[in-house]
């Protein structure tokens, strides 16, 4: 499957030649290929990303490299991840076209995807949260995306035959799953060369994570679920850096970590990153008091879960007589029984989401890859203070998640750590 037969890493010049030889791309950009404006914007860890603007149109071209870009060739990484990203963009885009950019072209040999360019004023959500910008439709849009993509790729909608076939295909994305297993569920809980934190301020905090046996036992349960539970086609990396926004648009990008896994991994990633953004706000409060903005973030967290739950359950009711084989209509044939099944399902999903969200928060503070929300706080003491509160909250949430039954209870715990 790997092997570099026919693959070559493109630069701005060779990309022009590639476009010239690809009629579907010329038809979008226009025939004046020599006049293309190309800009490399990949600030991520893994890929080259080019914005290409032509006389007739524009696009983003993304190419996966056979190693982790931010580390180099010493950490090889399959470029087949581009295939899983393209398939997921198409699959998720089919069910939620309003919030997933359209794929124009995919070249498996070159590990290259051409897709719709999300023009300015679209920015990465994380940058908007750091700047203190309110996005009034964010909860509405992201709950829509998660409800539609997770429901329609689960056994609530699929037959078991369809589901197993899809699961088998995505088992091929094993390297990126292994990367997640390492950096989210393993490295923060042991000595690892890749771990880092705000030192020396958080030296004791990082050590406390490594010595917390209760935390380790809970993380083991989440890791098992991540590895064993093929619940739906999850994005696999749904943090605030994988979402582009304007005040009235929300677009989910970069699903190269996609696989059939636990739904709560996506929901938790998004909620956990919003909570990280919340705890970072005091570090960005020089220009203006951020209290009202913090309140908006908490409202968005609550609205996202509540809207997701409502929309997901509504899709279930709408398709209860369809092909989905998880809860056959002939068996779950009374409204009261179906309601009970849904209540139990959503309760478990809520607890899964809290656990995964907490694990994602912990790895962003004492693991390999951090978040700009904290990293951009120049005052080291202030940054460490913000990070410590987020870390303490995440540890409590991970260990005690089954005690919470509503998102409002979680919000109230966030308040306790915001002192």
Full-prediction pTM beyond 0.85?
A: yes
In this structure, of 276-290, 305-319, 348-362, the range with the lowest mean pLDDT score is 276-290
Q: Which residues pair with 39 in a beta bridge?
A: 51
Which residue is it, tokens 């409502």?
A: 310
- Phi-psi sector, 64: left (phi>0), alpha (psi -120 to 50), beta: beta
Q: Tell the burial category of 287 from Cβ atoms under 10 Å away from its Cβ (0-12, 13-18, 19+).
A: exposed
Instruction: State the average pLDDT over residues 168-184.
Output: 96
Local confidence band at 69 (pLDDT 50, 70, 90 cut-offs): low
Closest to 112 measured CA to CA, from 236, 256, 217, 212:
256
Q: Which residue intervals of 67-124 are DSSP H helices?
A: 81-95
Chain segment 94-132, per-residue pLDDT in tens:
999 999 999 999 999 999 999 999 999 999 999 999 999
Please give the pLDDT value at position 2: 41
CB-side neighbour CA atoms (13 Å) of 36: 28
- Taking residue 324's Cβ as centre, other Cβ atoms within 10 Å add up to 22
Spatial strand order of the sheet with 47-53 comes to 37-40, 47-53, 58-64, 112-115, 103-107
Distance (Å, whole) CA 67 – CA 4: 12
Please give the pLDDT value at position 5: 72
Structure tokens at 291: 């209290």
Please give the pLDDT value at position 3: 47
- Taking residue 335's Cβ as centre, other Cβ atoms within 10 Å add up to 9
Answer yes or no: are the C-beta atoms of 417 and 361 closer than 8 Å: no
Local confidence band at 77 (pLDDT 50, 70, 90 cut-offs): confident
Structure tokens at 341: 């099944």
pLDDT at 61 over 60: yes
Distance (Å, whole) CA 402 – CA 57: 50
Q: Which helix (H) or strand (E) holds 47?
A: strand 47-53
What are the Cα distances from residue 380, in Å, to 199, 201, 209, 385, 391?
A: 9, 8, 21, 9, 16
Chain segment 379-408, per-residue pLDDT in tens:
999 999 999 999 999 999 999 999 999 999
User: Please, what is the average pLDDT of the chain?
Assistant: 95
Please give the pLDDT value at position 286: 73
Local confidence band at 4 (pLDDT 50, 70, 90 cut-offs): low
Please give the pLDDT value at position 141: 99
Distance (Å, whole) CA 189 – CA 88: 31
pLDDT at 1 over 60: no
Local confidence band at 70 (pLDDT 50, 70, 90 cut-offs): low
**Percent of the chain whose pLDDT exceeds 90:** 92
Report helix, strand or coil for 133. coil
CA 213 to chain centre: 28
CB-side neighbour CA atoms (13 Å) of 402: 4
């Amino acid at each position: 499957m790997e092997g570099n037969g026919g693959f070559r890493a493109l630069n701005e010049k060779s990309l022009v030649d590639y476009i010239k030889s690809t009629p579907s791309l010329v038809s979008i950009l226009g025939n004046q290929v020599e006049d293309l404006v190309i800009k490399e914007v990949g600030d991520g860890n893994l890929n080259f990303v080019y914005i290409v603007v032509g006389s007739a149109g524009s696009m983003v071209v993304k190419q996966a490299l056979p190693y982790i870009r931010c580390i180099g060739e010493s950490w090889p990484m399959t470029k087949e991840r581009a295939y899983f990203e393209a398939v997921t963009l198409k699959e998720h885009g089919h069910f939620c076209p309003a919030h997933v950019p359209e794929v124009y072209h995919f070249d498996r040999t070159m590990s290259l995807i051409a897709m719709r360019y999300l023009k300015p004023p679209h920015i990465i959500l994380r940058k908007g949260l750091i700047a203190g910008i309110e996005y009034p439709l964010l909860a509405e849009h992201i709950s829509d995306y998660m409800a539609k993509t997770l429901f329609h790729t689960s056994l609530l909608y699929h037959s078991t035959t369809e589901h197993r076939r899809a699961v088998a295909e995505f088992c091929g994305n094993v390297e990126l799953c292994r990367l997640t297993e390492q950096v989210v569920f393993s490295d923060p809980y042991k000595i690892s060369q890749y771990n880092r934190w705000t030192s020396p301020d958080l030296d004791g905090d990082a050590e406390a994570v490594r010595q917390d046996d209760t935390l380790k036992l809970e993380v083991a349960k989440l890791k098992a679920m991540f590895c064993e539970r093929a619940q739906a086609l999850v994005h696999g990396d749904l943090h605030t850096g994988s979402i582009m926004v304007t005040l009235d648009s929300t677009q989910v990008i970069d699903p190269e970590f996609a696989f059939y896994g636990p739904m709560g991994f996506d929901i938790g990633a998004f909620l956990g990153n919003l909570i990280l953004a919340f705890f970072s706000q005091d570090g960005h409060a020089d220009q203006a008091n951020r209290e009202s903005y913090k309140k908006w973030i908490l409202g968005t967290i609550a609205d996202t879960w509540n809207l997701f739950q409502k929309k997901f359950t509504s899709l279930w009711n709408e398709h209860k007589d369809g092909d989905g084989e998880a809860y056959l209509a002939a068996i779950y044939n009374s409204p009261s029984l179906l309601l009970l099944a849904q209540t139990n399902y959503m309760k478990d999903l809520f607890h899964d989401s809290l656990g995964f969200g907490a694990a994602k928060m912990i790895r962003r503070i004492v693991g390999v890859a951090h978040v700009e929300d904290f990293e951009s706080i120049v005052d080291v003491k202030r940054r460490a203070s913000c990070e410590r509160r987020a870390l303490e909250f995440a540890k409590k949430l991970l260990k005690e998640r089954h005690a919470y039954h509503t998102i409002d209870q979680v919000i109230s715990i966030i308040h306790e750590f915001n002192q």
